Amino acid sequence: MTAITRYILRQLVAVTVIVALTLICAIWLTQSLRFLELIVNRGLQLSTFVYLTLLLVPSFLNVVLPIALFTAIMFVYNRLSIDSELVVLKSLGLGPGALANPALLIGGTVVVVGYTLTLYFLPLSYRSFKDLEFNIRSDYTTILLREGAFNTVSDGITVYIRSREPNGEMFGLIVHDNRQRERPITLMAERGTLAFTEEGPRVIMTNGNRQQVERGTGKLSLLYFDRYSVELGGLSQKQDGRWREPRERFMNELWNIDESPIDRQFSGRLRAEFHNRLVAPLHALAFVLMGLAALLPGDFNRRGQNKKILVTIVLVVALQAGAIALNNVIARTPSLFPIVYANVLGAIAGAAWWLWRTPRRRRLASGWLPAR
């Protein structure tokens, strides 16, 4: 590796890391806001909350890295051009291919990292995330029913518990059931326990009363009871009965679709995810070549290369948007999957040709073409 390659490579790595970390932190922050309700309303521990949100990082890291690398290429090579460093390097006999080596080296590394993420770490982390989220939202005893707080366990049901014993017995219960807006019910009891049935979790209350108010007339109905049970909404499910989303599945599970009705119903989505896993890492190479093709060929322009940069950004955005749109298309029509590969491979081939082509004036000077 030459000193020039190391010089450019160091700058590319530094900018890529800074941009990637910035984007990761921004996306992680916006994604974590979705789960603040688990801390505020359900008493989730901070360490569990951080672990839960960190499991999401591989799901967007494969998108962040190519964008960060493209940003680094546009910034570093444009700065080298503005500082006339590229002019000096070209005067030493270095062509676009030689100047592109540092970017292609880090681009190849990002492609390898991308395949490692999509083929293994993405389904592994997202599966762990969905399982943990499911367990948190289904664990009524340790998460939902906290002492000394009004706990919203489902839409229209709020539960208050004064205290709870280690054996699970609860004291000082208040349950407000507002699922029927016109006939809200409030129950109070001295003690109670939580039971799980096939229909869902239920609170069994002892020694209390049931109050119901008719909203239209304001009439209060009061019933005293020795024993009363309240269904909490039927949110409990078995973990092994949960359908796994496409992003939770490994490649063999995406290709070998089960004969279950729900898998057959969403077979298009599973096939689309399979092809997307194979194509997505190649976007890093496409972005690298598109950035290099915009900045390296051609002569130095004192007015800058803003127009080239803007056009390249538009093309990169169009490529990424096209990939998303095509993924939705093949989810509905799986037989069209070749266009997903053609989209990114066409961009790679076109950018590579533009980068390594020989301009007409250079061919004229070399005698490759007759002058007119």
**pLDDT tens digits for 152-181?**
777 778 888 888 776 778 899 998 888 777
Amino acid identity at 278:
L
Confidence class of residue 286 from pLDDT cuts 50, 70 and 90? Answer: very high
**pLDDT tens digits for 36-95?**
766 665 556 777 788 888 888 888 888 899 999 999 999 999 888 888 888 788 877 787
**pLDDT tens digits for 199-238?**
667 788 999 999 988 777 778 888 899 998 887 764 444 4
| Residue 120, token pair as written in the block | 């293994």
**pLDDT tens digits for 101-117?**
999 999 999 999 999 99
Confidence class of residue 364 from pLDDT cuts 50, 70 and 90? Answer: very low
Query: Which residue is associated with the tokens 């599970």?
Result: 253
Query: Which residue is associated with the tokens 């790679």?
Result: 348
CA distance 315 to 323: 12
Q: Where are the alpha helices (DSSP H) in the chain?
A: 3-32, 36-40, 46-54, 57-82, 85-91, 96-116, 122-138, 251-255, 261-265, 267-279, 282-295, 306-332, 338-356, 360-366
- CA of 111: how far to CAs of 79, 119, 256, 279, 284, in Å? 25, 12, 26, 10, 6
Q: Where are the alpha helices (DSSP H) in 234-305?
A: 251-255, 261-265, 267-279, 282-295
Chain centre to alpha carbon of residue 277: 14
Chain centre to alpha carbon of residue 188: 43
* pTM metric for this prediction: 0.72
- CA of 280: how far to CAs of 17, 112, 293, 321, in Å? 20, 11, 21, 12
Q: Which of 247, 271, 243 lies closest to 257 in space, CA to CA?
A: 271
Model confidence at 125: pLDDT above 70? yes
Query: Phi, psi (5° rounding) for residue 184?
Result: -65, 150
